[in-house]
Structure 1
Amino acid sequence: MHHWTDLRGRRAVVTGGASGIGYGIAQALIEAGAAVMIADVEPAALDTAAAALGIPARHVDVRERGSVDELAAAAAAALGGVDIVCNNAGIGPAGRIEHLSISDWQWMLDVNLWGVIHGVQAFLPLLKSNPDGGHIVNTASMSGLAAAPSLGAYAVSKFGVVALTEALSAEEPRIGTTVLCPGPVRSRIGASSRNRPAAPDGGALVDLDLDTAGIFGPDGPPWLEPIAVGRIVVDAIVNRRLYAITHPQLAGRVKARHAAIEAAFAEAAERKEHA
């Protein structure tokens, strides 16, 4: 695994980099001295972001393995190699499980889970070829650690990202791995449907205004700006943290889930003793 004390001279790629968390990650990486390429599915927003940051950019549709392969080749050529990959592109609409169509599930999993899988598959060989390895950051969510009503499909995709990152960490000791689990962040994830392909069987997923949805309760944690999250990511890379948490105030939801699982194990043990 790498032992970087800072990110000066490192070469990084960030998907979903035209806005929100991805843009904040790119800003923080540049601030830390890295050379960065951003990628996004929205050409106009991508051009605007790249011009503002003064960095190269590449259109990508993370749902398509070929598109991500092309991004990897383009990034290696433009940057002279790749050290850091941030698989950040994602969507966040909501809908009750009983109402979801197959197209709803396909879109959610294609972007949020398959997009990360494609990123890992395309970039891992590049990182493994580096003398000092590299680092992969996969963006999940607090919903990847504890599910909530109306976010079932989203949680399924993000739980998958967490599992993928944990397994990758165990399998690839030379490659640093981080799963980013953000809480409320100022981004455009609440307008994800702007990029949805046509759904032949309709669907129930709708964009969610997190400000008014009440997911985090009336006294929820503070909203963060994307650059703040980006700096958390930079810290996680330098310090080789597996989990990057933005809102420690949300620990209660995760602790409650873990406590319920531990209780189930205890109950199973007790039943066995009395069998």
Structure 2
Amino acid sequence: MTTINGRRAVVTGGASGIGRGIAEELIGDGAEVVIADIDEAALAATAREIGAHAIAVDVADPHSVHALAEQAEAVLGGVDIVVNNAGVGPLAPLEDLTLADWRWILDVNLYGVIHGVHEFLPRLKANSHGGHLVNTASMAAFSPAPGLGAYAVSKYGVAALTEVLDLELRQANSDVRVTLLAPGTVTTNIKESLRHRPAGDGETGLRDVDISKGLAGDVRWITPREAGRILCDAILGNDLYAITHPEWWHMVDERQAAIRQAFHRVG
């Protein structure tokens, strides 16, 4: 089992939302934590409130992620757990997306994870006791929906990356383990994502949407701390998947059933 107590962790997107909830749960379990975020004001405030170290980062920039890794190791004396969590989530029909929209979503949500894996995986593998790497995807990685085109593409990519990495680490008998976090409806400020879109990227078809206003009343919302607890339990159990809303399996099952039927038709 991966140990959290006494370990050193880095959480991107840690100034708010799920990232903050994860950081708080890691600290509660005895870890020393660096939170990293592009929002420096919120980052500093959150670090003071929860007792974490703060390092600014733009996960879309590989040089910034490299600097994060260097600084985190200097501050913590090493890194044992890395949570590639930073992400954005505005919506748009595919036909409304500009190429700049695509680049921004993929740069943050997918390349942000790629940059984190590239920088931190060798450091985790160099530890005598290994480590744990977490990548945040979404239920959209298992069950896409209209308006989530760019977001779902990015999260499908994160899921594929994580699953392949898990296979490769196990094949190599590595002491590094990996978990894919797939959140459902969590109370965060992801509905304010566009404020971080680069100002020089021109027109956009994306829109920030408060999805809580468009969902049925029986949808279960959880807090970031609850999502963080689910993830910490998955880390402790070396689980590949951390699912926040198991009651949503029927949506995944419908997609799997359609794929299964397609295979049977060919056969």
TM-score (norm: length of structure 2):
0.96
Match of 2:225 among 224, 227, 233: 227
CA distance in 1, matches of 2:217, 2:250: 13
Which residue does 1:108 correspond to in 2? 105
1:55 deviates by: 1.8
Aligned residues of 1:102 and 1:201 also touching (Cα < 8 A):
no
Which residue does 2:198 correspond to in 1? 197
1:203 deviates by: 1.5
Unaligned 5+ runs, structure 1: 270-275
User: Measured at CA, do residues 200 and 14 of structure 1 come closer, stay the same or move farther in structure 2, by a change above 3 Å?
Assistant: closer
1:200 deviates by: 3.9
CA distance in 2, matches of 1:60, 1:223: 29
Unaligned 5+ runs, structure 2: none
Aligned positions of 1:43-58 closer than 5 A: 43-58=40-55
CA distance in 2, matches of 1:199, 1:172: 40
| Displacement over 3 Å in runs of 4+ | none
Which residue does 1:92 correspond to in 2? 89
Which residue does 1:250 correspond to in 2? 248
Question: Which of 142-151 and 168-177 deviates more?
Answer: 168-177
Q: What count of residue pairs does the alignment treat as equivalent?
A: 263
Residue 140 in structure 1 maps to residue 137 in structure 2: yes
User: Measured at CA, do residues 136 and 220 of structure 1 come closer, stay the same or move farther in structure 2, by a change above 3 Å?
Assistant: farther
Aligned residues of 1:221 and 1:247 also touching (Cα < 8 A):
no
Tell me which structure has the larger Cα radius of gyration: 1
Which residue does 1:236 correspond to in 2? 234
Match of 2:34 among 32, 37, 60: 37
The alignment yields a C-alpha RMSD, in angstroms, of 1.0
The alignment partner of 2:199 has SS state of: coil
Which residue does 2:213 correspond to in 1? 212
1:220 deviates by: 4.2
State the AA in 2 paired with 1:140.
A
CA distance in 1, matches of 2:218, 2:76: 41
Aligned residues of 1:221 and 1:249 also touching (Cα < 8 A):
no
1:94 deviates by: 0.2
State the AA in 2 paired with 1:98.
E
% identical equivalent positions: 52
TM-score (norm: length of structure 1):
0.94
